[in-house]
Amino acid sequence: MLRVDDVHTYYGDSHILQGVSLEIPRAAIVGILGRNGAGKTTLVRSVMGFTPARRGRILFDEAEITRLRPYRIARLGLCVVSQGRQIFPSLDVAETLAVGARPKPDGWTVEKVYELFPPLRARAHHPAGRLSGGEQQMLAIGRSLMTNPSLLLLDEPTEGLSPLYIEAVGHVIRTLQQSGMSMLLVEQRLRFALLYADYVHIMSRGKIVHSSSPQELGRDADVRARYLGV
């Protein structure tokens, strides 16, 4: 469904992604692990079109999206839950869910998002900036679901969350996968990624340095120590 083919991305003159290739099959969760500064977020930004790749190609459902504007990429069925949640402080919860909604038959509705995340219903008319970190993460995921994506890019969705919320996010990821959604799951938490991903890549210095099943990585203490420090 998504194919990243030898992608090179720069910030100004710094060469961040140095030839990254990977594939995300339909209804699969592909995990990306790596230390800070490995290029994980840059990979997400390149796919979403925020920081377009300078070389290489990115294909989504066989269509080239490498240099499309983010809103065009989004309309093809791709959405991102960005690191740090990126909530709109000027909007309340209901407005946040409605603002980017692209309804689809049998797709996500405000009602379904509230069923998935009950705490949001009670907060419908609260400013989004006043929600707790966990509630903001629910809102960030809900906001993306309202665009009815077929591929969701999750950039460290458990960052800064309490164990209870981490479990809730994991549960949602499972639910979404069962509904046929594909996901790119960028994570710092090894255990979380191993639990939910169907396939994992480790990035280091802008390259993919290890690819395997999560079970294999779980057994390979040497790789974990070398690239993740755990």
Partner 1 sequence: MEFWVNQTFNGVSYAALLFLLGGGLTLIFGVMKIVNIAHGSFYLVGGYLGVALVAATGNFYLALLGAALAVAAGGVILERVFLRAVEGDDLRQMLLTMGIALFFQDACLLVWGGDPFNLRGPAYFAQSVKLGGFTFPILRLFMIAAAGVLFVVLWWFQEKTRAGAMVRAAIDNAEMTEALGINVPILKMAVFGLGAFLAGVAGVVGSAFMGIYPGLDFEILPYAFVVVIVGGMGSLSGAFVAALVLGLLDNFGKALFPEISYFTLFAPMAIVLAFRPTGLFGRA
Q: Of 62, 71, 106, 222, which one interacts with partner 1 (CB under 8 A)? A: 71
Sole window of 78-86, 115-123, 176-184, 191-199 interacting with partner 1 (rule: CB under 8 A)? 78-86
Q: Of 4, 65, 79, 202, which one interacts with partner 1 (CB under 8 A)? A: 79
Beta carbons of 192 and 166 less than 8 angstroms apart:
yes
22 to 61: interface string for partner 1, x by CB under 8 A: --------------------------x-x-----------
Find the binding residues for partner 1 in span 144-173 (CB under 8 A). 144, 146-147
Work out whether 186 is an interface residue with partner 1 (CB under 8 A): no
Phi, psi of 133 (to 5 degrees): -55, -45
End-to-end CA distance of the chain: 32
Determine the 3-state secondary structure of 53 from DSSP: coil
Report the 10 Å Cβ neighbour count for 227.
18
Q: Of 89, 105, 163, 180, which one interacts with partner 1 (CB under 8 A)? A: 89
Beta carbons of 229 and 64 less than 8 angstroms apart:
no
Work out whether 75 is an interface residue with partner 1 (CB under 8 A): yes
Sole window of 15-23, 77-85, 201-209, 221-229 interacting with partner 1 (rule: CB under 8 A)? 77-85
Q: Number of C-alpha atoms within 13 angstroms, CB side, residue 128?
A: 22
Query: Could you tell me the two tokens for 110?
Result: 């405000």
* Closest to partner 1 by CB, 10 or 50: 50
Angle between helix 163-178 and 133-145 (nearest 10): 10
| Chain centroid offset of residue 163 CA | 19
Q: Of 143, 201, 210, 224, which one interacts with partner 1 (CB under 8 A)? A: 143
Q: Which residues bind partner 1 (CB under 8 A)?
A: 48, 50, 69-71, 74-75, 79-80, 82, 86, 88-91, 95-96, 98-100, 102, 143-144, 146-147
